[in-house]
Amino acid sequence: MKNLIRNISILLLICSFWPSQSQTLSGSGEYGFQAMDYMSDSLSKAIDAQVRANSKLLQAKGMLPHNKTSNPSFDWPAKVNAGFPYCSYWGISFFVDHDTNNPNHVLDFNCGSRTYDMSGFNHDGTDIFLWPFPQYLQDQGYVEVIAAAPGILVYKADGYPDHSCIISNQYDNEIVILHSNGIYTYYGHLKKNSLTTKNIGDTIALGETVGKAGSSGASSGPHLHFGVKDSLSHIIDPFTGPCNAGNSMWTIPRTYYTPNVNAALTHSSMPVFNPCPGLETLNLKDTFNVGDTFYCIAYLRDQTIGDTLFMSLTAPDNTVYDWTFIFTISYNNSWVYEYCWYDVTDLPGNWKFTARYKGSSCEHNFVFASPLSTNQLKIAPDDAFTISPNPATGFFRISSKHTEDAGLYDRVGNKIMSLKTNGNYDVSNIPGGIYIIRSSNHAAKIVIQGRN
């Protein structure tokens, strides 16, 4: 059934539809936040030198295990802590730049341009940004930076401001871990005072929290810069592809794009993304009163042109109102919203907003409160009606226990014909599409297959 609805939705290029007495306005956009960073060659070399010097000192003290085995494999270097309220928290804005020329000569591992350079600087890591609401997620401390592999702490810098928004040449709060085979991982732009209390030379376990994601140092906004270098501080890109041969260093294979629904949320009005370092104004709302306007917004990462986002609202009576959105632009991070004023006088209760995109799915529960007391509610299961056949071609039959007045409405709320909740109806002259049949107590979707 789900596939049928999906296929029909694509076929008819339905952008949105709603039951009667509704007004909708849909749209989308990209949050103009491309998390990036910078470090001058001299500053970068100074940190690398400190990393190697600390390692040498530890080795001299016999504090480094003899672990020159094979290269380590890396788990994802971040996670969320308990209480994180959304479906996911990250996207990738930039990879390692494999073109050593600069500026304006970029090449990522996939031979694409999801990387950057500047004069005298080639991006030397993977930038994992926080999304949605990067400033909010940073301030709440939801995103923990964790060791991608077990190792020894060999560098730690803390105390730098963590709400940086500009690219300049400055130190950041950073952790470096030494792993087997002399491979180092760098964790940059951490939140001030969030770093592990462990000291240089202490062991770090796989997945151990070493700090929280922030925006310290030369950073355009909250993100983790995850860097990998060898024993001589040569840059390693853990991703492999046509422009970076070799074996991937990820424990679980990582792809160039990882499309996902990071959040599906309801709002009282559109969120406001204030200029960095301002906190976003989320305008989240989960309980509405009858007649309230509300916004259903899906927050995504890695959406590409031509792909379809499926969104649906499930009413307390399990009626599903669904619609699709087809991307006309490729985005790293974006939102898609539907604005609705919806007369739910007869549908108070628990609703569910679902967004599905390329195999990922995210749900959000919200409530429409009834102005009526519970014993006045007119919800009665035996008021439900059935429609057959559905999809209908030429005619359909509607039946119920109680005959009521009802109407057939198109997706923008125009009443097409009057009905009773018992009877046979000729729809051979009605254009194909998705319609709503609505009585005083019940609403249901009907697909009418037009005749060519």
**Residue 127 or 322 having the CB closest to Zn ion:** 127
Could you list the beta-strand ranges (E) of 158-276: 174-178, 184-188, 203-204, 209-212, 223-229, 235-236, 260-267
Measured between alpha carbons, how far is 37 from 364 in angstroms, rounded to an integer?
34
Residue 237 sits in the site that holds Zn ion (CB under 5 A): no
Q: Residues 23, 340: contact at Cβ < 8 Å?
A: yes
**Residue 172 or 346 having the CB closest to Zn ion:** 172
Q: Bridge partners of 24?
A: 340
Residue 358 sits in the site that holds Zn ion (CB under 5 A): no
Residue 174 sits in the site that holds Zn ion (CB under 5 A): no
Q: What are phi and psi of 210, to 5 degrees?
A: -115, -5
Measured between alpha carbons, how far is 236 from 228 in angstroms, rounded to an integer?
5
**Residue 218 or 434 having the CB closest to Zn ion:** 218
Residue 93 beta carbon to Zn ion: minimum distance, rounded to whole angstroms: 8
Residue 172 sits in the site that holds Zn ion (CB under 5 A): no
Q: Name the residue whose CB lies closest to Zn ion.
A: 225
Contact residues for 23 (Cβ-Cβ < 8 A; gap 6+): 340, 341, 413
Residue 97 beta carbon to Zn ion: minimum distance, rounded to whole angstroms: 10
Residue 442 sits in the site that holds Zn ion (CB under 5 A): no
Residue 241 sits in the site that holds Zn ion (CB under 5 A): no
**Residue 64 or 96 having the CB closest to Zn ion:** 96
Residue 385 beta carbon to Zn ion: minimum distance, rounded to whole angstroms: 58
Nearest CA-CA partner of 413 in 325, 355, 345, 343: 343
**Residue 103 or 431 having the CB closest to Zn ion:** 103
Residue 127 sits in the site that holds Zn ion (CB under 5 A): yes
Residue 290 beta carbon to Zn ion: minimum distance, rounded to whole angstroms: 48
Q: Which structure tokens are listed for 288?
A: 């509405």
Q: What is the contact mask toward Zn ion in residues 186 to 225, using x (rule: CB under 5 A)? A: ---------------------------------------x
Helix (H) / strand (E) element for 78: namely: strand 78-80
**Residue 190 or 430 having the CB closest to Zn ion:** 190
DSSP of 260-323, one letter per residue? EEEEEEEESS--B-PSTTSPPB--B-SEEETT-EEEEEEEEEEE-TT-EEEEEEE-TT--EEEE
**Residue 225 or 438 having the CB closest to Zn ion:** 225
By CB under 5 A, the residues from 24 to 53 that bind Zn ion are 37
Among 19, 125, 238, 348, binds Zn ion (CB under 5 A): 125
**Residue 225 or 364 having the CB closest to Zn ion:** 225
Residue 19 beta carbon to Zn ion: minimum distance, rounded to whole angstroms: 47
Can you say whether residue 56 is alpha, beta or left, with left for phi > 0 and alpha for psi between -120 and 50 degrees?
alpha
Name the residues that contact Zn ion, by CB under 5 A.
Answer: 37, 125, 127, 225
